[in-house]
Amino acid sequence: MEKQLLKAVLYSAIKPDESRLEQFSSFIKEKYQTEAVMEWKQEDALRGGFRLEVGSDIYDWSAESRFRQLQTHWKHIAEHSEGNVIPLLQESVKQWLPTAEPTEIGTVLTVGDGIATVSGLPGATYGEILLFSLGIRGMVMDLKKDYIGCILFGDDQEIIEGSEVRRTGRVAGVPVGDAFLGRVIDSLGTPIDGKGVIAAQEYCPIERPAPSIIDRQPVNKPMETGILAVDSMFPIGRGQRELIIGDRQTGKTAIALDTILNQKGKNVICIYVAIGQKASSVAGLVETLKKHDALSYSIVVSALASDAAPLQYIAPYVGCALGEYFMNRGQDVLIVYDDLSKHAIAYRALSLLLERSPGREAYPGDVFYLHSRLLERSANLSEEKGGGSMTALPIVETQAGDVSAYIPTNIISITDGQIFLESELFFAGQRPAVNVGLSVSRVGGDAQTKAMKKAAGTIRLDLAQYHEMEVFTQFASDLDITTKRQLVYGQGLMRLLRQAQYHPLKQYEQVILLVVALNHVMEDIPVADISCFAKKLICFMEENASSLCHDIEKKGQLSEEMEQDILRLSQEFRKKWSDGTCRV
């Protein structure tokens, strides 16, 4: 069989002589181990240089290409040097020699809706960044036989059919560093808060493998939310992934925001990723963080509803990359994805535009992998890896309380538990509207301090019995005294679990309230007065047992003696409350 020859085209302003053509032929033969058919074409713009195209490889020795290489060289020196870089740059210019490495240049076939198809880049890899005209970047998302599909991180109106596309050889990444704390950025890591440029310390890929099992340790340290209903019954540990799920406008973001506010002074980095939200909602959240002095330890990543689907798609991965930077340095991170329902919708739009086969509810077949590879990156690292952790609170919106829909069931199976918020409870005034029966934490008591575990006692069982009894009492007209007392006790517990937004409770406050409530001290207090009673009880305990409060908060211990002191003081306060001496 006759050996096929390579076709090579040399572009230059002046035709080379035979000896120069022979040099090019020898270079090709040595590089590709085969003969080549040489062809010369005149291009006046290439004065002082040339461009050699061998198959799909391009060797660009034009003045523009060499200047680009020098710029890249300068940038590398500037990024990896400290102090004055001028002497280093001057020395590097003297020693620098340009190189003629093969580059692939493709051509745009079609463009629209944030998607471009490109031909002529056979070496492009999945997830690689491509450079389009006017500096617009895209990421390879689909590999076909004759072309590739990529998503665009910029205005596709600036790209036209037939324009050039270059490979960068780099995967998608984001700048990271301590300077990002207190800032609001978009999906590309660009600041959008008007506070100027952010000085990055590193550049991290937005996608990377999750920590292996060997690199992890069990989740055993609490990530306190400050919400009594959550910390007592569905505790969250550092490194856990706890789903917050419920219908629209049931307080999902409020729980995540209160958790962020509760990390003040606890050396936890908080990252809030807003996906597909209104600009006014994100602005309101940032103002809330500022008001409560929580922005200094937080980062907000915003992909608005008005942003293109590719930017909404990469937003949670950008937030996760920022979180991993701090986690790998041994710090504790809390990251909120609000919400992954909109993230899945953005990915569905991209997949359909890339002509991938739709599956259930028109989502692509890999939509489960979309979220599993994101959430699995949250972990509690072993001491050998620095002992850092990243706790994830993904949020998912349901329709009419249907937790059996495609995306909710997917994420429920990935996470370590869920906090289910119910519309009926919310509109009945029970806020946070946590459904005790459907909510669960698969880490459980391992993520609680000994004080909280002992104080919480049988609260879940008591509430379950109350809800069961409440259903039957709807059909009964005559109740015995025991049943009535259990109903009153259950109503009191439910009222105690109501909590105002932006007012997270400290650990000692929660422990005291649980000990008092579960020992029936509040049983005879009218339901409407329980919130006021609880608030004034805490003030009374802080005044009369400050050392006890301090020990519970700092040591996380609750001895029998401490519990008896709490009951004794609460009974004393209960008597004063009955006498009216503690009321306003």
| 578 — pLDDT class (breaks 50, 70, 90) | confident
| 51 — pLDDT class (breaks 50, 70, 90) | confident
Q: What is the CATH number of domain 221-448?
A: 3.40.50.300
Measured distance CA(137)–CA(371) in Å, rounded: 24
| All residues at 6 or more sequence positions from 337 whose CB lies less than 8 Å from its CB, including other chains | 273, 275, 316, 319, 343, 374, 392, 393, 394, 395
Catalytic residue among 137, 166, 208, 442: 442
CA-atom Rg of the chain in angstroms: 31
CATH 1.20.150.20 residue spans of the chain:
455-579
What is the pLDDT at residue 34? 78
Residue-wise pLDDT tens digits, 503-543:
999 999 999 999 999 999 988 888 899 999 999 999 999 99
With respect to CATH, is domain 104-171 assigned 3.20.20.80? no
Taking residues 243-263, what's their average pLDDT?
96
Residue 138's Cα: distance from chain center in Å? 21
Q: CA torsion angle for 205, 206, 209, 214 (degrees, to 10)?
A: 90
Helix (H) or strand (E) holding 554: helix 546-555
What is the pLDDT at residue 512? 96
- Residue among 205, 238, 255 at smallest CA distance from 390: 238
SS (HEC) of 224-240: CCCCHHHHHHCCCECCC
| 475 — pLDDT class (breaks 50, 70, 90) | low
Active site residue 66: no
What is the pLDDT at residue 503? 93
Measured distance CA(552)–CA(522) in Å, rounded: 21
CATH 2.40.30.20 residue spans of the chain:
104-171
Measured distance CA(256)–CA(415) in Å, rounded: 16
What is the pLDDT at residue 483? 82
| 40 — pLDDT class (breaks 50, 70, 90) | confident
Tell me if the bond preceding 565 is cis, omega within 30° of 0. no
Taking residues 465-473, what's their average pLDDT?
82
Yes or no: say if 139 and 128 are a contact pair by the CB < 8 Å rule. Answer: yes
Q: Is 215 exposed, middle or buried (0-12, 13-18, 19+ CB in 10 A)?
A: middle
CATH 3.40.50.300 residue spans of the chain:
221-448
Position 253 pLDDT exceeds 70: yes
Q: Which residues, in sequence order, are bridge partners of residue 140?
A: 150
Tell me if the bond preceding 338 is cis, omega within 30° of 0. no
What is the pLDDT at residue 157? 85
What is the pLDDT at residue 89? 42
Residue-wise pLDDT tens digits, 321-370:
999 999 999 999 999 999 899 999 999 999 999 999 999 999 999 999 99
Q: Which region among 92-101, 161-170, 213-222, 559-568 has the lowest average model confidence (pLDDT)?
A: 92-101
Q: Which residue has the tokens 């994420």?
A: 411
Neighbours of 246 (CB within 10 A): 29
Measured distance CA(308)–CA(186) in Å, rounded: 12
Position 476 pLDDT exceeds 70: no
Say which CATH architecture domain 455-579 belongs to.
Answer: Up-down Bundle (1.20)
Position 1 pLDDT exceeds 50: no
